[in-house]
């Protein structure tokens, strides 16, 4: 009987201690979330400075700072088909102080970049926070190039195989877009990798490449307006607002299975309250007229999705992309 009472007392004591520990941890967790952020946040982007991603990332960071009351510092981490930035975020401490402004291709590297290159992280190592923007991509050529349409360039390349086309590297969405076009049009090209639009534009203007597949930005838009560059098509399935007269690949009969939405991500294990805090801030920022104007002027398009909606969209995209790559023979 005495042993039984001691056993019951021990169980009760353990239960009380467990409840105390759980409450203490929860109080500490909530206190951490309510104090967040208490120092600057780093936001990694996968491209070199100067392109649309850099421009809109800095606009987003500036707008977020007003709500978070802490600096949001943009860090350029180009290379590896965008996976250097992805790995930087995936390897960071999951405390909300390192986030990434990344593409779905960066989130799921095993389906694109990782097909031929070993990537040290997977989508399981990243936590989607919210979607923010679409960055339109276009097929650009020099202003005095002999082609005024994508059809013109395809016909020329058919007769003159091996033209050099700048892109972000093998197994990126732009590269696959070129592969799909090459298959459909029965042409051959040489892909030349660059870290971003800021590196590709001088290559086009200098005659080092004949064309480029890259995201749009204000510099490119001004060069288009000045006639120094031409855009033959955008890589979307519908025309974009800032270039309404430019045809898109969808209407030209080319497949475009890719999801171009940039979003914010944290490392796996980022506290849910921190994720919620960042998501709420971005939702507010997305409604601000000043930010909307900056996005429009950057040539990007606002596409806010909350955490749950974005995670669902990414899961559906991953499933679709896997099936598409198998169908096209890229994935076994």
What is the block-wise mean pLDDT of the chain (332 residues), using blocks of 10 residues? 50 49 46 80 93 91 98 95 94 98 90 73 96 91 97 96 92 84 93 90 97 89 96 88 90 82 97 98 98 90 95 90 82 76
Task: Output the pLDDT for position 222.
Answer: 94
What is the DSSP secondary-structure string of 149-184?
SHHHHHHHHHHS--EEEEES-TTSHHHHHHHHHHHH
Nearest to 176 by CA among 251, 81, 246, 84: 81
Separation CA 267–CA 207 (nearest Å)? 41
Say yes or no: domain 137-234 is CATH 3.30.365.10. no
Task: Output the pLDDT for position 26.
Answer: 45
Check for a shared fold between 36-135+260-327 and 137-234.
yes
Strand partners, 133: 262, 302
Helices 52-68 and 289-297: crossing angle, nearest 10°?
170
Task: Output the pLDDT for position 8.
Answer: 53
CB atoms within 10 A of CB 71: 14
Q: Do the beta carbons of residue 158 and residue 332 sit within 8 Å?
A: no
What tokens were used for 189? 């090209």
**CATH architecture, range 36-135+260-327:** 3-Layer(aba) Sandwich (3.40)
Q: Do the beta carbons of residue 86 and residue 120 sit within 8 Å?
A: no
Task: Output the pLDDT for position 114.
Answer: 58
Query: Mapping DSSP to helix (H, G, I), strand (E, B) and coil, where does residue 267 land?
Result: strand
Task: Output the pLDDT for position 22.
Answer: 47
Task: Output the pLDDT for position 24.
Answer: 45
Task: Output the pLDDT for position 206.
Answer: 98
Task: Output the pLDDT for position 17.
Answer: 46
H helices, E strands: number in the chain: 11, 11
Instruction: Break the chain into its structural domains and give their ranges.
Output: 36-135+260-327, 137-234
């Amino acid at each position: 009987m005495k042993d039984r009472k001691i056993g019951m007392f021990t169980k009760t004591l353990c239960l009380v201690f467990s409840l105390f520990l759980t409450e203490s941890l929860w109080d500490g967790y909530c206190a951490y979330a309510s104090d967040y952020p208490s120092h600057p946040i780093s936001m990694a982007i996968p491209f070199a400075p100067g392109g649309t991603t850099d421009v809109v990332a800095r606009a987003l960071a500036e707008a977020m700072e007003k709500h978070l009351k802490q600096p949001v510092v943009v860090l350029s981490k180009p290379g590896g088909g965008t996976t250097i930035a992805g790995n930087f975020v995936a390897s960071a401490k999951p405390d909300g102080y390192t986030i990434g402004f990344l593409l779905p291709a960066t989130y799921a590297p095993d389906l694109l970049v990782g097909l031929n290159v070993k990537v040290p992280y997977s989508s399981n190592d990243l936590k989607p926070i919210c979607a923010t923007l679409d960055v339109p991509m276009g097929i650009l050529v020099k202003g005095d190039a002999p082609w005024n349409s994508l059809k013109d360039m395809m016909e020329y390349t058919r007769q003159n195989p091996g033209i050099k086309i700048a892109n972000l590297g093998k197994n990126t969405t732009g590269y696959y877009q070129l592969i799909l076009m090459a298959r459909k049009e029965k042409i051959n090209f040489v892909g030349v990798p660059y870290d971003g639009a800021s590196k590709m534009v001088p290559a086009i203007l200098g005659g080092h490449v004949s064309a480029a597949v890259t995201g749009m930005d204000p510099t490119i838009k001004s060069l288009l307006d000045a006639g120094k560059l031409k855009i033959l098509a955008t890589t979307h399935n519908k025309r974009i607002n800032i270039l309404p007269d430019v045809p898109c690949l969808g209407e030209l009969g080319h497949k475009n299975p890719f999801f171009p939405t940039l979003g914010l991500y944290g490392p796996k294990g980022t506290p849910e309250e921190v994720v919620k805090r960042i998501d709420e801030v971005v939702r507010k920022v997305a409604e601000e007229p000043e930010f909307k104007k900056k996005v429009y002027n950057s040539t990007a398009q606002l596409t806010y999705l909350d955490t749950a909606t974005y995670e669902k969209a990414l899961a559906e995209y991953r499933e679709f992309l896997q099936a598409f790559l198998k169908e096209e023979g890229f994935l076994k």
